[in-house]
Chains A and B, each alone.
Chain A
Amino acid sequence: MRKNESLVAHLDWPLFIVYMILLIMGVATVYSTAFNEDHPNIFDFSQKYGKQIMWVGVSLFLGLMVFLIDSDIYRKFCVPIYLFTLVLLVIVLFMPAVNGAHAWLGIGSMGIQPAEFAKIGTGLLLARFISNVNVKQQNIQTVLLANAIILVPMALILLQPDAGTFVVFTSFLFVMYREGITYDPLILKMVNSIPGVKFKQTWVGSHFIPILFVVVFLSVVTLLMSNETLEFSWLGGLEIPGFWSVIIALTIFALIMFLILRFFSSRRDRNRATFVVLFGYILASGLATTVNYGFQGLATHQKDRIELFLGLKEDPDGDDYNRNRAMAAVGSGGFTGKGYNKASVSSVESNHVPESETDFIFCPFAEEWGFLGVFVLFGLYMFMLLRIIMIAERQRSAFNRIYAYTVAMILFYHFAINIGMNIGFAPVIGIPLPFFSYGGSSMMSFSMMMFILLKLDSQRRDVLQ
């Protein structure tokens, strides 16, 4: 009895409710997108929406199961779980290829993608491993071991090949960063091997992951904007070349950061904060300039490749077909959208946007609901991500915290890459939008991930560590 009480009392309701809202919105979007006039019933299991509802049911059932099992099991059995997912990843390589990838395990139409579940196994083991390392985190051995935990499933996934999931696994680097497992020991060893140099810590090594993220993100955005001109009709038709709009955005951002830090940081940190902002601003502007002008200097075929990758090249029906169609669908949504079930570009029937019920599900959603809908959806995802980070930070147990971070970072990666694909900010590497895209494996794995988190959180007070 007590257990059931705690189940309701200690459940993090805000997160659970957002999760449920996203599930419902996802099913509604799949229903609208894949709507088949001959089978109008949403519970028709021969249709994708019927199947999706079934997957939601299965996921919720799995969630209930997770809740009935004591959370200690994940900590205790994380090694067998990890190894089990690895075995599945090996087995799947011997399965017949579907769409050129050995990703599916199962019989007939009922199949699962082990790569989706490998995220959970890896996340659990990583949490267990890092939480067991004590103060001696800055140690080459621990860094290499932590990386090995990630790299083994990554290698197996690359063999399938599944580029999308492969990239998503790099989200664990953020978790390691949060826990202080960085590449600093490796860089220190290299730097200190120079005679006469004796560093205790290198700033670049410690913050390698976020720096890499910023560099990649800023470069991609700069390249994307370099061919564009923003026109502001409400500023009297003011036209700003893309590159300068990036610089202007950076400047505005730096000023805001400067003011925030000025008001909120302690007197002691104030000068350091100012220095970081100024230094960061100069470096970022320099990077944007280098990327912009360096790109102009590239050979044509290299340029072509990058342009195509970024969707800058005008090739509406060639290799860049998917992105062009997807962006047309999103961009045509307008402020209020075309209305539910009115998508003309991205419905499955019109088929202009391929995979519009799975990887490109954001297209029909944005086309039908417009910016208002997108705003709500972003609000929900942002709330979910920040809520998970909040939950992570309130855990007493390092294991729980680290696991929560893996969930947050995996969801963040999926969100950033999936939406980015639809708006020309990321290459098309086919990964689902969590809780939204049609598909059993992703629905079940994300749900299990979420319910394990909710379960761990609900029992956070039982853990002493």
Chain B
Amino acid sequence: MNFDARKYVIITFVVLVGLIYAMRIFYMQVMDDTWTLRAQEIAEKRKEITPPRGVLFDRNGKKIVSNRTYYNLMMVEADIKNLDTVAFAKLIGWTREEVRQRFIDIREGEGVYRNKHTGKTTPNYQKIRAYPFLKELTLDEIANIAPHLEDFPGFYEEVTSMRSYPFANGANIVGYLSEVNAEEVDADHFYKPGNNIGRAGLERYYEKELRGRKGIRYIVTSAMNNAIEPYADGKYDTTALQGPALKLGVDILLQAYGEKLLQNKRGCIVAIEPSTGEILALVSAPSYDPNLLIGKRNISTNYPKLLKDPNMPLLPRPLSSEYPPGSTFKLLNSLIGLQEGVITPESGFPCNKSVVGCHNHPSAGNLADAIKHSCNPYYYAVTRRIIQQGKKRSNFEDAEIGLNLWAKYMHSFGLGQKLETDITGLRAGSIPDAAYYDKWYGHHRWAFSTIRSISIGQGEVMLTPLHMANIAAIIANRGWYITPHFVKSIGKSGPLPEFRKKHYAMVESRHYATIVEGMRRVVHEPGGTGKRAQLKDIIVCGKTGTVQNPHGDDHSVFVAFAPMYKPKIAIAVFIENAKGGGGLWAAPTAGLMIEKYLTRKITEKEREKIILEANFVYK
């Protein structure tokens, strides 16, 4: 038999394998970039250098958020030789079992390789790589460990930077940092697992500014993870840039004083500089020491405690809690009445307790006295005139028009909407309009008598303390406000453009004089409800409020500004469940804050003592 033809079978195989291989390699090298990316992952390390975050200064140049050096105890398993577990556990103050468990956790949990396309994760622990064995050690802690590390090859220390809060105040303003989660890593390529991100407050709002710019060094690395050489001689490398410093309008000493005054109470103080809209203090009580939430170790122990605290220290009340404004709201109803021409400064209404309850005081013969006495029947009458202007024959249709007009006025005071303050956690509050009541009662099935509680700031009206302070600022400015804000400047730039713009309320400035005079009488005339806010050399203009609380003791509220002319500070104080009205607790607190800010000292020591000793939390 002749088998010569079989050479073609063999030749076919040889050529076929060559062709198929060439096609495969062409696909791998030229058409598919998976392997190129994999090669970069393997051999070219992008070493990211995270710069320290931008620091925060208060209005007087005091550093209120800074960075501090911490240490990680790193571990490279391949370098560990004859580890004396007992001695090592003793050195770091752990038990042997804890040390052993930590090794297991690192092997299983660290360095997980995550495929970006499929989202699948596979363990990628490597003995030759460095992993943190202990994280975020303070200088004191590492000082005990570092000298003995020579006895434990495979362990070494590494420097890292974390936040530090020299003042321990304003936790709800500055917020805190914590490690990014997987979604955040996916959403923004800036972040790598283990990086920190602002979780609340200014840290979150100004995250993009504060985080700065990462430095990147490209290095060709070996399988032992040694750097071999800079990639392309460092051509693509960038240097790390710290985020710019933020200068705040906050006066940290005033903030600290406010937090002290509200100890053992639930409540808020918001102080604003009226002419600029800068927030001087934003006290949320109870608060917490921001140093409790530095780093993973602290957060894991302290955060759950803070979260479970029934007094909710993590809640930024001045921004997120909505309260009825109570009698402080009468100021606005007065202004709208004047602007609409339904009352004059000389209008008088009898204190007729049959329509709505009131306390004992002489009937107000003019508007300023009505403010001074905070007369409920007076404002029932005023608001009735605003709502029911008689533009339509039907009472219901008339009320609809009147209420919508009223709501429009209120919106122009920044109410019923989120102020564009540079912080997270803001709430809008609520200003009811016709559509709102239509939902409750039906179209044209309600009139002023149904909704009368809005005249004294109760019922459906809800404001945050920030709104209340802003009202004080508008009256102090006689008609306008700049959006309350924290940051005066970022780096070397001045105030942001949105914080230079004046927003005018719909009430003309000529109408404010009467209201301001009424507010003066509240504090400085006998019979005024806010006498306890009185100061010797400073004219304080204020308005008390007592918010009825169906769930417990009434809330005490006071809004004020001072001095009367060229005001420097506008303030709102809200104390929850204070036994007694606005004049009793909120007014003296506001007075102390104003004095502290304007004179830097406290003369009314007795008043201060009473406030400090008051306890409305623990009974």
A-B contact pairs, 20 of them (CB 8 A): A137-B1, A174-B10, A180-B1, A180-B6, A213-B13, A230-B27, A317-B124, A328-B39, A331-B38, A332-B35, A332-B36, A332-B38, A349-B222, A366-B29, A371-B26, A374-B22, A381-B18, A393-B4, A393-B7, A409-B10
B29 touches A331 (CB 8 A): yes
Return the CB mask of B409-435 against A: 1 if under 8 Å, else 0: 000000000000000000000000000
A314 lies within 8 A of B14 (CB): no
Give every chain A residue within 8 A of B159 (Cβ-Cβ). Answer: none
A327-B22 in contact (CB<8A): no
Q: Which of B3, B4, B30, B222 contacts A350 (CB 8 A)?
A: B222
Q: Is the CB of A324 within 8 A of B14?
A: no
User: Within the complex, which residue of B22, B34, B124, B224 is in contact with A375, where a contact is CB–CB below 8 Å?
Assistant: B22
User: Given A179-B3, A328-B38, A345 and B29 touching (CB < 8 A)?
Assistant: no
Contact between B28 and A314 (Cβ–Cβ < 8 Å)? no
| Nearest B residue to A385, CB-CB | B14
Given A328-B39, A331-B28, 16 extra CB contacts under 8 A: A179-B3, A180-B3, A207-B9, A317-B113, A324-B38, A325-B42, A328-B35, A331-B39, A344-B220, A350-B223, A351-B223, A371-B25, A382-B15, A386-B14, A393-B7, A425-B24
Q: Is the CB of B21 within 8 A of A178?
A: no
| CB of B352 within 8 Å of the partner chain | no
Once bound together, how far apart are the Cα atoms of A294 and B324, in whole Å?
71
**Shortest distance between the CB of A382 and any CB in chain B (Å):** 5
Stretch at the interface among A151-159, A285-293, A415-423: A415-423
Q: Are B13 and A350 in contact (CB-based, < 8 A)?
A: no
Instruction: Give A331 to B27 CA distance when docked, in angstroms.
Output: 9
- Distance of A351 Cα from B3 Cα, bound (Å): 48
Q: Is the CB of A374 within 8 A of B10?
A: no
On chain B, the residues within 8 Å of A230 by CB distance are: 27
- For chain B, the bracket of interface size reads 35 or more
CA distance A408 to B14 in the complex (A): 10
Interface residues of B (CB under 8 A from A): 1, 3-4, 6-7, 9-11, 13-15, 17-18, 20-22, 24-32, 34-36, 38-40, 42-44, 113, 115, 120, 122, 124, 126, 220-224, 228
Q: Find out whether the CB atom of B25 lies under 8 angstroms from the CB atom of A382.
A: no
Q: Tell whether A315 pairs with B220 under 8 Å between CB atoms, given A328-B39, A333-B29.
A: no
Query: Which A residues between 310 and 369 are near B, CB-CB below 8 angstroms?
Result: 314-317, 324-325, 327-335, 344-345, 349-352, 366-367
SS class, residues of chain B in contact with chain A: helix
Contacts of B1 in A (CB 8 A): 135, 137-138, 180
Looking at the assembled complex, report how far the CB atom of A459 sits from the nearest CB atom of chain B, in whole angstroms.
Answer: 22
How far is B30's CA from A382's CA once the two chains are assembled, in angstroms? 22
Complex CA gap A352/B226 in Å reads 11
B9 neighbours in A (Cβ, 8 Å): 177, 207, 210
Interface residues on A, range: 35 or more
For the complex, what is the distance from the CA of A183 to the CA of B18, rounded to whole Å?
28
Say whether, besides A314-B120, A351-B223, A389-B14, A370 and B29 are in contact (CB < 8 Å): yes
* CB-CB under 8 A for A389 and B11, given A314-B115, A350-B221, A423-B24: yes
- The residues of A that contact B115 with a CB separation of less than 8 Å are 314
Contact partner of A178 among B3, B25, B36, B222, CB < 8 A?
B3
Closest-CB distance, B369 to chain A (whole angstroms): 79
Shortest Cβ distance from A177 into B: residue: B6
Whether a CB of chain B sits under 8 angstroms from the CB of A13 is no
Given the known A-B contacts A344-B39, A351-B224, are A331 and B34 also in contact in the complex, defined by CB atoms under 8 Å?
yes
Closest to A316 in B: B113
The CA-CA distance from A179 to B10 in the complex, in Å, is: 12
Q: Can you name the residue of chain A whose Cβ is closest to the Cβ of B115?
A: A314
CA distance A392 to B10 in the complex (A): 12
Task: State in angstroms the CA–CA spacing of A241 and B466 once bound together.
Answer: 60
Q: In the complex where A315-B122, A374-B22, A423-B25 touch, is A389 in contact with B10 (Cβ < 8 A)?
A: yes
Question: How far does the Cβ of A311 sit from chain B's closest Cβ, in whole Å?
Answer: 12
**Chain A hits for B3, CB < 8 A:** 178-180
Contact residues in B for A324 (Cβ distance below 8 Å)? 38
Known: A331-B34, A332-B40, A350-B43. A389 touches B120 (CB 8 A): no
CB-based contact B29/A335 at 8 Å: yes
* A378, B21: Cα distance in complex, Å: 9
Measured between alpha carbons, how far is A345 from B221 in the docked complex, in Å?
Answer: 9
> Which residue of chain A lies nearest to B22 when distances are taken between CB atoms in the complex?
A378
For A422, give the chain B residue with the smallest CB separation. Answer: B25
Report yes or no: B18 in contact with A382, Cβ–Cβ below 8 A.
yes
Name the contact of A378 in the complex, choosing from B4, B13, B18, B43 (C-beta under 8 A): B18
Contact: B14 with A331, CB < 8 Å?
no
Tell me the minimal C-beta distance from B225 to chain A in angstroms: 10
**A412 interfacial contact with B, CB 8 Å:** yes
Chain B residues whose CB sits within 8 angstroms of the CB of A315 once the complex forms: 122
Residues from chain B with a CB closer than 8 A to the CB of A352 are 42-43, 222-223
- Alpha-carbon distance A378/B26, docked complex (angstroms): 12
A408 proximity list for chain B (CB < 8 A): 10, 14
Q: Give Cα A48–Cα B36 distance, bound, in whole angstroms.
A: 28
Which residues of B have CB within 8 Å of A409?
10
User: Which residues in B have their C-beta under 8 angstroms from that of A207?
Assistant: 9
Distance of A328 Cα from B37 Cα, bound (Å)? 8
The contact of B11 among A381, A386, A420, A423, by CB within 8 Å, is A386
Query: With a CB–CB cut-off of 8 A, which chain A residues contact B34?
Result: 331
How many angstroms between the C-alpha atoms of A386 and B10 in the bound complex?
10
Residues of chain A within 8 A (CB-CB) of B224 are 351
Q: Nearest chain B CB to A103's CB is how many angstroms away?
A: 25
- Closest B residue to A210 by CB, please name it: B9
A408, chain B: closest CB distance, angstroms: 8
Whole-angstrom CA separation of A335 from B40 in the bound complex: 17
Interface string of A443-465 (1 = CB under 8 A from B): 00000000000000000000000
Residues in A neighbouring B11, C-beta threshold 8 A? 386, 389
Please indicate the chain B residues that have their CB under 8 angstroms from the CB of A386 in the complex: 11, 14-15
Contact status B7-A178, CB under 8 Å: yes
Complex CA distance for A128 and B9, rounded to whole angstroms: 23
B37 to chain A, nearest CB (A): 8
Q: How far is the CA of A221 from the CA of B29 in the complex (A)?
A: 18
B25 touches which one: A316, A349, A374 (CB < 8 A)?
A374
Would A334 and B18 count as touching, CB distance under 8 A?
no
Assembled-state Cα–Cα distance A201/B594 (Å): 113
Q: Min CB distance, A424 to chain B, in Å?
A: 8
**Digit string of A233-252 for contact with B (CB within 8 Å is 1, else 0)?**
10000000000000000000
With CB as the reference atom, state the residue of chain A lying closest to B24: A423
Q: How far is the CA of A327 from the CA of B24 in the complex (A)?
A: 11
Please indicate the chain B residues that have their CB under 8 angstroms from the CB of A389 in the complex: 7, 10-11, 14
B-side contacts of A316, CB under 8 Å: 38, 113, 122, 124
How far, in angstroms, from A392 to B6 measured CA to CA in the complex?
13
Please tell me if the beta carbons of A351 and B39 are within 8 angstroms of each other in the complex: no
Cβ distance A395 to chain B, nearest Cβ, rounded Å: 12
Write out the residue numbers on chain A whose beta carbons fall within 8 Å of the beta carbon of B38.
316, 324, 327-328, 331-332
Which A residue sits closest to B28, measured CB to CB?
Answer: A331
A210 to B126, CA, bound (A): 44
CB distance from B593 to the nearest CB of A (A): 61
Bound CA–CA A221/B32 (angstroms):
18
Give the residues in chain A near B15, CB-CB below 8 Å.
Answer: 382, 386
If the complex has contacts A416-B17, A420-B21, are A330 and B220 also in contact, measured as CB distance less than 8 A? no
B29 x A374 contact (CB < 8 A): yes
Contacts of A344 in B (CB 8 A): 39, 43-44, 220
In chain B, what residue has the closest Cβ to A352? B223
Give the CA-CA distance A367 to B28 in the complex, in Å. 11
How many angstroms between the C-alpha atoms of A138 and B3 in the bound complex? 12
CA distance A230 to B21 in the complex (A): 16
- Chain A residues, CB < 8 A from B221: 350
1/0 per position for A201-237, CB-CB distance to B under 8 A?
0000001001001000100010000000011110000
What chain B residues lie within 8 Å of A419 (beta carbons)?
Answer: 21
